Amino acid sequence: MDIQQVAQRAGVSTATVSRVLNGSNKVREKTAEHVRRVIAELNYVPNNSARNLRIGRSELFGLIVSDIKNPFFPELIDHFEELAAAQGIDVIFTHTNYNSARLATCVRRLVERNVDGIAVMTSEVDEPALELSTQRKVPVVLLNQTRLNRKYRDVMIDYSRGFHEAMQHLTSLGHSNIVFLTGPQQLSSIQRRQAAFKAAAKKCGVLRGEDQIILGDLRVESGRVAMETLLRRKRPPTAVIAANDLMAVGVLQAANAAGLRVPEDVSIIGFDDLPLAMMMHPPLTSIHLSRREIAAEAFSQLMQLHKHRAPGSPRAPRKVHPRLIVRGSTARARSKRKKA
């Protein structure tokens, strides 16, 4: 069942069928109507491979994330796919599993598929892996890669406001001993969150020494361990801001285990605002990073490149600003805390 057969059955040329299929206005309405009827009757479905080969585009975007099991990504993928579908674009989805060697493989597979654009939504990107895409002039958009945002389109995240809101929230509740539970230092997103924390602490007059920052690895367990360490201090913090929600959950668990009540005894703030944040007990106050905004911005940048074929200089990109969402894990600081 190909265009040939449709043409034959309709008594027109394949050119006409093709024009009808593509909504060309150069076809007489009556002819078009007739062709459409035949198409429906024959249940004809055009062959996209042929079309793509001919027009040199695929109407396909690639979407690469590091790990779909990370609850941060589903909403991003969901929205990205939604936007693409609305434009008749399909998305090939792949993941790297945090393995940077796999990024190169993913990119290659996508380039072979002739995709019209690639969204690389991983926290770290190994630049050489992108080489093939630039060489093939396949548009690429990255996530929060300040280091590379001159060479590639990038969805930038500005952490300052979110952390400032969090800090103000805590200081207004009387907290001054506030600790930041950070993550792996080589991750640029972590570096920037940490910098935003410090800037906000300084601005609010609660910046202290090095012990204001404690290290985790972004997983629940590390949050628990960190909190246990903090509770052994002679002056444990009255509030903890974690670099992500997962660690905040660990902090919550450790606080519970130590017999502390949240938020009466300790306030906890997470980052990301994953769906699970509101399922915690108490529901977690968290700095919300919008996956929808990221998806929308990534998609629109790719779409722009796709249409204008201008891989080079970006239009002014919209930054994404995380915002504080206040829930039940933060409250007024006790003036004097008893040792647990």
Partner DNA sequence: CTGAAAGCGCTTACAG
Return d(Cα 32, Cα 12) in angstroms, integer.
10
12 vs 239, beta carbon nearer DNA:
12
Residue 31 binding target from a second copy, DNA, none, CB below 5 to 8 Å by type: DNA
Q: φ, ψ for residue 66 (rounded to 5)?
A: -80, -35
Contact flag: residue 41 with a second copy (CB under 8 A): no
Return d(Cα 253, Cα 245) in angstroms, integer.
12
Return d(Cα 190, Cα 214) in angstroms, integer.
13
Is there a contact between 84 and 306 (Cβ–Cβ < 8 Å)? no
Is there a contact between 247 and 220 (Cβ–Cβ < 8 Å)? yes
Contact flag: residue 335 with a second copy (CB under 8 A): no
Residue 195 binding target from DNA, a second copy, none, CB below 5 to 8 Å by type: none
- Least distance to DNA from the beta carbon of 42, Å? 11
Total residues contacting DNA by CB under 7 A comes to 31
Contact flag: residue 275 with a second copy (CB under 8 A): yes
Among 8, 9, 23, 25, binds DNA (CB under 7 A): 25
The window from 40-48, 71-79, 171-179, 321-329 that contacts DNA (CB under 7 A) reads: 40-48
Contact flag: residue 90 with a second copy (CB under 8 A): yes
Return d(Cα 211, Cα 236) in angstroms, integer.
11
Contact flag: residue 14 with a second copy (CB under 8 A): no
DSSP-assigned letters across all residues of 155-210:
E-B--HHHHHHHHHHHHHTT---EEEEE--TT-HHHHHHHHHHHHHHHHTT----G
Q: What is the C-alpha end-to-end distance of the chain, expressed in Å? A: 76
Quick check: helix, strand or coil at residue 37? Answer: helix
Residue 206 binding target from DNA, a second copy, none, CB below 5 to 8 Å by type: none
The window from 20-28, 125-133, 217-225, 332-340 that contacts DNA (CB under 7 A) reads: 20-28
Contacts of 41 (CB under 8 A, 6+ apart): 9
Contact flag: residue 217 with a second copy (CB under 8 A): no
**Eight-class DSSP state of 244:** S
Among 23, 40, 43, 54, binds DNA (CB under 7 A): 54
Return d(Cα 314, Cα 109) in angstroms, integer.
26
- Least distance to DNA from the beta carbon of 32, Å? 7
The window from 3-11, 46-54, 315-323, 329-337 that contacts a second copy (CB under 8 A) reads: 46-54
Interface positions with a second copy (CB under 8 A): 43, 45-50, 52-53, 58, 60, 67-69, 71, 73-75, 77-78, 81, 85, 90-95, 105, 108-109, 111-114, 132, 135-136, 220, 249, 252-253, 256, 275-276, 279-281
